[in-house]
Amino acid sequence: MLDPRLLRSFTAIVDAGSFTLAAERLNMTQSTISQQLARLEEAVGLALVDRAARPVEPTSAGERLLGYARRILALHEEAESALGDPAGTTSIRIGVPEDIVTSAMATVFADFARRHRKIRLDVIAGLSRDLTRRYRAGEFDVAIVKEAEAGPDCRATFPEAMAWFERADAPGEWPNPIPLVAFPQGGLYRETMFERIEHEQLRWYVAFSGSSLHNVLVAVEAGLGLSLLPRSAVAGYGVRQYAPFGMESAMAVSIYSWESAGAVSDLVQRMGAVLAARCGQPG
Protein backbone atom coordinates (compact mmCIF):
# COMPACT_ATOMS: atom_id res chain seq x y z
CA MET A 1 0.00 0.00 0.00
CA LEU A 2 1.31 3.43 -0.93
CA ASP A 3 1.67 5.71 2.08
CA PRO A 4 -0.27 8.98 1.53
CA ARG A 5 2.42 10.90 3.39
CA LEU A 6 5.04 9.76 0.85
CA LEU A 7 2.74 10.51 -2.06
CA ARG A 8 2.14 14.01 -0.69
CA SER A 9 5.90 14.66 -0.59
CA PHE A 10 6.31 13.32 -4.14
CA THR A 11 3.55 15.53 -5.59
CA ALA A 12 4.86 18.56 -3.68
CA ILE A 13 8.36 18.09 -5.16
CA VAL A 14 6.96 17.80 -8.69
CA ASP A 15 4.65 20.79 -8.24
CA ALA A 16 7.39 22.98 -6.74
CA GLY A 17 10.15 21.75 -9.04
CA SER A 18 12.45 21.90 -6.04
CA PHE A 19 13.12 19.88 -2.89
CA THR A 20 13.70 23.08 -0.94
CA LEU A 21 10.43 24.76 -1.96
CA ALA A 22 8.46 21.54 -1.45
CA ALA A 23 9.90 21.16 2.06
CA GLU A 24 8.91 24.73 2.90
CA ARG A 25 5.35 24.22 1.66
CA LEU A 26 4.95 21.06 3.78
CA ASN A 27 6.76 22.54 6.79
CA MET A 28 9.48 19.89 6.61
CA THR A 29 13.24 19.93 6.43
CA GLN A 30 14.81 19.21 3.05
CA SER A 31 16.42 16.04 4.41
CA THR A 32 13.03 14.75 5.61
CA ILE A 33 11.28 15.28 2.26
CA SER A 34 14.25 13.68 0.47
CA GLN A 35 14.00 10.66 2.75
CA GLN A 36 10.28 10.33 2.11
CA LEU A 37 10.78 10.41 -1.66
CA ALA A 38 13.51 7.79 -1.32
CA ARG A 39 11.17 5.55 0.69
CA LEU A 40 8.46 5.89 -1.99
CA GLU A 41 10.94 5.07 -4.76
CA GLU A 42 12.08 2.04 -2.77
CA ALA A 43 8.48 0.92 -2.36
CA VAL A 44 7.70 1.09 -6.09
CA GLY A 45 11.17 -0.02 -7.21
CA LEU A 46 11.57 2.90 -9.63
CA ALA A 47 13.14 6.38 -9.71
CA LEU A 48 10.31 8.91 -9.70
CA VAL A 49 12.11 12.27 -10.19
CA ASP A 50 15.14 13.44 -12.11
CA ARG A 51 17.21 15.04 -9.37
CA ALA A 52 19.71 16.50 -11.83
CA ALA A 53 17.09 18.48 -13.74
CA ARG A 54 16.50 22.15 -12.95
CA PRO A 55 13.72 22.49 -12.07
CA VAL A 56 13.27 18.93 -10.76
CA GLU A 57 11.09 16.91 -13.14
CA PRO A 58 9.31 13.56 -12.84
CA THR A 59 10.76 10.56 -14.64
CA SER A 60 8.56 8.53 -17.01
CA ALA A 61 7.57 6.32 -14.08
CA GLY A 62 6.92 9.43 -11.98
CA GLU A 63 4.61 10.84 -14.64
CA ARG A 64 2.62 7.60 -14.64
CA LEU A 65 2.34 7.63 -10.84
CA LEU A 66 1.50 11.34 -10.53
CA GLY A 67 -2.15 11.12 -11.60
CA TYR A 68 -2.82 8.16 -9.32
CA ALA A 69 -1.05 9.93 -6.45
CA ARG A 70 -3.28 13.00 -6.80
CA ARG A 71 -6.42 10.84 -6.87
CA ILE A 72 -5.30 8.84 -3.84
CA LEU A 73 -4.58 12.02 -1.89
CA ALA A 74 -7.94 13.54 -2.89
CA LEU A 75 -9.80 10.41 -1.76
CA HIS A 76 -7.77 10.36 1.44
CA GLU A 77 -8.82 13.94 2.23
CA GLU A 78 -12.43 13.18 1.30
CA ALA A 79 -12.48 10.16 3.62
CA GLU A 80 -11.02 12.19 6.51
CA SER A 81 -13.61 14.91 5.93
CA ALA A 82 -16.47 12.38 5.84
CA LEU A 83 -15.35 10.70 9.04
CA GLY A 84 -15.03 14.06 10.73
CA ASP A 85 -18.64 14.95 9.87
CA PRO A 86 -21.08 13.60 12.50
CA ALA A 87 -24.00 13.53 10.01
CA GLY A 88 -25.88 10.23 10.14
CA THR A 89 -23.78 8.71 12.91
CA THR A 90 -26.72 8.08 15.28
CA SER A 91 -29.67 5.93 14.27
CA ILE A 92 -33.36 6.00 15.17
CA ARG A 93 -34.97 2.71 14.10
CA ILE A 94 -38.62 3.05 13.09
CA GLY A 95 -41.07 0.29 12.19
CA VAL A 96 -44.24 1.22 10.29
CA PRO A 97 -46.99 -0.39 8.21
CA GLU A 98 -46.41 0.25 4.51
CA ASP A 99 -49.42 2.52 3.99
CA ILE A 100 -48.32 4.84 6.82
CA VAL A 101 -45.28 6.03 4.84
CA THR A 102 -47.24 8.71 3.00
CA SER A 103 -45.91 11.94 1.54
CA ALA A 104 -47.00 13.72 4.74
CA MET A 105 -45.04 11.28 6.90
CA ALA A 106 -42.04 11.50 4.57
CA THR A 107 -42.16 15.29 4.96
CA VAL A 108 -41.95 14.86 8.74
CA PHE A 109 -38.92 12.59 8.30
CA ALA A 110 -37.25 15.06 5.91
CA ASP A 111 -37.81 18.03 8.22
CA PHE A 112 -36.48 16.06 11.20
CA ALA A 113 -33.39 15.00 9.23
CA ARG A 114 -32.65 18.62 8.29
CA ARG A 115 -32.87 19.73 11.91
CA HIS A 116 -30.91 16.76 13.30
CA ARG A 117 -28.09 16.01 10.85
CA LYS A 118 -26.39 13.70 13.32
CA ILE A 119 -29.38 11.34 13.32
CA ARG A 120 -30.10 8.77 10.62
CA LEU A 121 -33.66 7.46 10.28
CA ASP A 122 -33.80 3.72 9.56
CA VAL A 123 -37.41 3.07 8.52
CA ILE A 124 -38.63 -0.50 7.98
CA ALA A 125 -42.11 -1.35 6.68
CA GLY A 126 -43.90 -4.55 7.59
CA LEU A 127 -47.01 -6.23 8.94
CA SER A 128 -48.23 -4.85 12.25
CA ARG A 129 -47.95 -8.06 14.25
CA ASP A 130 -44.36 -8.55 13.19
CA LEU A 131 -43.60 -4.89 13.89
CA THR A 132 -45.08 -5.23 17.39
CA ARG A 133 -42.97 -8.32 18.10
CA ARG A 134 -39.81 -6.60 16.91
CA TYR A 135 -40.55 -3.44 18.89
CA ARG A 136 -41.07 -5.45 22.08
CA ALA A 137 -37.78 -7.22 21.36
CA GLY A 138 -35.99 -3.87 21.23
CA GLU A 139 -35.32 -3.87 17.48
CA PHE A 140 -37.15 -0.55 16.98
CA ASP A 141 -36.95 2.71 18.88
CA VAL A 142 -40.32 3.83 17.50
CA ALA A 143 -43.13 1.76 16.02
CA ILE A 144 -46.50 2.48 14.49
CA VAL A 145 -48.78 -0.54 14.49
CA LYS A 146 -52.37 -1.36 13.68
CA GLU A 147 -54.14 -3.40 16.34
CA ALA A 148 -57.60 -4.28 17.55
CA GLU A 149 -57.00 -2.35 20.77
CA ALA A 150 -54.21 0.01 21.75
CA GLY A 151 -51.72 -1.10 24.39
CA PRO A 152 -51.49 0.82 27.69
CA ASP A 153 -47.97 2.04 26.92
CA CYS A 154 -48.71 3.61 23.54
CA ARG A 155 -47.84 7.30 23.10
CA ALA A 156 -50.99 7.98 21.09
CA THR A 157 -53.66 6.01 19.26
CA PHE A 158 -56.16 6.91 16.56
CA PRO A 159 -59.16 5.04 15.09
CA GLU A 160 -58.75 3.93 11.48
CA ALA A 161 -62.05 3.55 9.60
CA MET A 162 -62.31 0.19 7.81
CA ALA A 163 -64.62 -0.92 5.00
CA TRP A 164 -65.02 -3.62 2.38
CA PHE A 165 -64.08 -2.75 -1.19
CA GLU A 166 -64.67 -4.16 -4.65
CA ARG A 167 -63.83 -3.15 -8.19
CA ALA A 168 -65.38 0.21 -9.13
CA ASP A 169 -67.46 -1.31 -11.93
CA ALA A 170 -68.17 -4.69 -10.33
CA PRO A 171 -71.21 -6.20 -12.09
CA GLY A 172 -73.35 -7.09 -9.06
CA GLU A 173 -73.62 -9.97 -6.61
CA TRP A 174 -70.48 -11.95 -5.89
CA PRO A 175 -70.62 -15.74 -6.24
CA ASN A 176 -70.65 -18.09 -3.26
CA PRO A 177 -67.92 -18.93 -2.31
CA ILE A 178 -66.78 -15.32 -2.34
CA PRO A 179 -63.28 -14.66 -3.73
CA LEU A 180 -61.15 -12.62 -1.34
CA VAL A 181 -58.04 -10.52 -1.83
CA ALA A 182 -55.97 -10.72 1.33
CA PHE A 183 -52.64 -10.04 2.95
CA PRO A 184 -50.40 -13.03 3.82
CA GLN A 185 -51.00 -15.15 6.91
CA GLY A 186 -50.47 -13.11 10.04
CA GLY A 187 -51.95 -9.98 8.49
CA LEU A 188 -54.38 -8.24 10.83
CA TYR A 189 -57.10 -7.60 8.25
CA ARG A 190 -57.01 -11.18 6.97
CA GLU A 191 -58.47 -12.83 10.06
CA THR A 192 -61.11 -10.09 10.43
CA MET A 193 -62.19 -10.75 6.85
CA PHE A 194 -62.62 -14.46 7.45
CA GLU A 195 -64.56 -13.88 10.67
CA ARG A 196 -66.98 -11.48 8.95
CA ILE A 197 -67.63 -13.76 5.98
CA GLU A 198 -68.27 -16.73 8.25
CA HIS A 199 -70.54 -14.58 10.44
CA GLU A 200 -72.58 -13.90 7.29
CA GLN A 201 -72.71 -17.70 6.85
CA LEU A 202 -71.06 -17.45 3.46
CA ARG A 203 -68.30 -19.55 2.03
CA TRP A 204 -65.04 -17.99 0.84
CA TYR A 205 -61.63 -18.66 -0.66
CA VAL A 206 -58.49 -16.56 -1.09
CA ALA A 207 -58.24 -15.70 -4.77
CA PHE A 208 -55.18 -13.47 -4.37
CA SER A 209 -52.68 -12.82 -1.61
CA GLY A 210 -50.45 -9.74 -1.78
CA SER A 211 -47.61 -8.73 0.52
CA SER A 212 -48.14 -4.98 0.06
CA LEU A 213 -51.11 -2.66 0.25
CA HIS A 214 -50.53 -1.56 -3.34
CA ASN A 215 -50.60 -5.16 -4.58
CA VAL A 216 -53.84 -5.85 -2.70
CA LEU A 217 -55.50 -2.68 -4.03
CA VAL A 218 -54.44 -3.38 -7.61
CA ALA A 219 -55.89 -6.90 -7.31
CA VAL A 220 -59.21 -5.52 -6.03
CA GLU A 221 -59.15 -2.93 -8.80
CA ALA A 222 -58.72 -5.73 -11.33
CA GLY A 223 -61.79 -7.55 -9.98
CA LEU A 224 -60.06 -10.49 -8.34
CA GLY A 225 -62.26 -10.27 -5.25
CA LEU A 226 -63.36 -8.37 -2.16
CA SER A 227 -61.02 -7.03 0.48
CA LEU A 228 -61.19 -5.27 3.84
CA LEU A 229 -59.08 -2.12 3.74
CA PRO A 230 -58.57 1.25 5.47
CA ARG A 231 -60.82 3.86 3.89
CA SER A 232 -57.95 6.36 3.94
CA ALA A 233 -55.80 4.10 1.73
CA VAL A 234 -57.99 3.67 -1.36
CA ALA A 235 -57.80 7.15 -2.90
CA GLY A 236 -56.57 7.00 -6.48
CA TYR A 237 -57.57 3.36 -7.05
CA GLY A 238 -60.53 2.16 -9.12
CA VAL A 239 -62.42 0.63 -6.22
CA ARG A 240 -65.69 1.32 -4.40
CA GLN A 241 -67.10 0.41 -1.04
CA TYR A 242 -69.00 -2.90 -1.01
CA ALA A 243 -72.37 -1.77 0.35
CA PRO A 244 -73.79 -5.14 1.56
CA PHE A 245 -71.02 -5.49 4.14
CA GLY A 246 -70.83 -1.80 5.04
CA MET A 247 -68.32 -0.66 7.63
CA GLU A 248 -66.27 -2.72 10.05
CA SER A 249 -65.11 -1.78 13.52
CA ALA A 250 -62.26 0.71 13.41
CA MET A 251 -58.70 -0.48 13.89
CA ALA A 252 -56.43 1.31 16.34
CA VAL A 253 -53.38 2.93 14.79
CA SER A 254 -50.98 3.29 17.70
CA ILE A 255 -47.54 4.81 18.05
CA TYR A 256 -45.04 3.43 20.54
CA SER A 257 -41.67 4.76 21.65
CA TRP A 258 -39.20 3.68 24.29
CA GLU A 259 -38.02 7.27 24.87
CA SER A 260 -40.28 10.06 26.07
CA ALA A 261 -37.93 13.03 25.80
CA GLY A 262 -35.43 14.65 23.48
CA ALA A 263 -35.27 14.37 19.70
CA VAL A 264 -37.15 11.06 19.64
CA SER A 265 -40.06 12.59 21.54
CA ASP A 266 -40.19 15.47 19.08
CA LEU A 267 -40.27 13.03 16.16
CA VAL A 268 -43.00 10.93 17.78
CA GLN A 269 -45.14 14.03 18.35
CA ARG A 270 -44.84 15.05 14.70
CA MET A 271 -45.56 11.53 13.48
CA GLY A 272 -48.61 11.48 15.74
CA ALA A 273 -49.88 14.70 14.16
CA VAL A 274 -49.73 13.05 10.72
CA LEU A 275 -51.65 10.03 12.02
CA ALA A 276 -54.27 12.29 13.61
CA ALA A 277 -54.83 14.12 10.33
CA ARG A 278 -54.96 10.81 8.45
CA CYS A 279 -57.60 9.43 10.76
CA GLY A 280 -59.57 12.69 10.91
CA GLN A 281 -58.80 13.35 14.55
CA PRO A 282 -57.66 16.50 16.38
CA GLY A 283 -53.87 16.85 16.44
Residue 110 has, within 13 A of its CA and on its CB side, a CA count of 7
pTM above 0.95, yes or no: no
d(C-alpha 111, C-alpha 94), whole Å: 16
Alpha-carbon distances of 6 from 15, 33, 40, rounded to whole Å? 14, 8, 6
3-state class of 152 per DSSP?
A: coil
- Which phi-psi region, left, alpha or beta, contains residue 196 (left: φ > 0; alpha: ψ -120 to 50)? alpha
Would you give per-residue pLDDT tens digits along the chain (283 residues)?
788 889 999 999 999 999 999 999 888 898 889 999 999 999 999 999 998 888 999 999 999 999 999 999 889 888 877 776 666 568 899 999 988 988 999 999 999 998 888 888 999 998 888 999 999 999 999 999 999 899 999 999 999 999 999 999 998 788 889 999 998 887 778 888 998 888 888 899 999 998 888 899 999 999 999 999 998 888 889 999 998 887 888 989 999 999 888 888 999 999 999 999 988 765 4
DSSP H/E element including 71: helix 60-84
Eight-class DSSP state of 138: T
Specify whether the CB–CB gap between 16 and 22 falls below 8 A.
yes
Domains identified in the chain and CATH numbers:
4-84 (1.10.10.10), 90-158+252-278 (3.40.190.10), 160-249 (3.40.190.10)
